[in-house]
Amino acid sequence: MKIAGFLLLLSGWVLVLTAVVLLPAGGARSAFVLAGMAVEVLGLALAFWSHRILYRSRE
* Site residues for other proteins per CB under 8 A: 2, 6, 9-10, 12-14, 16, 20-22, 25, 29-30, 33-34, 36-37, 40, 43-44, 47-48, 51-52, 54-56, 58-59
The H-or-E segment that residue 15 falls in is helix 2-22
DSSP 24: P
Give min distance, CB of 34 to other proteins, in A.
Answer: 7
The residues near 11 (Cβ < 8 Å, ≥ 6 apart) are 39, 43
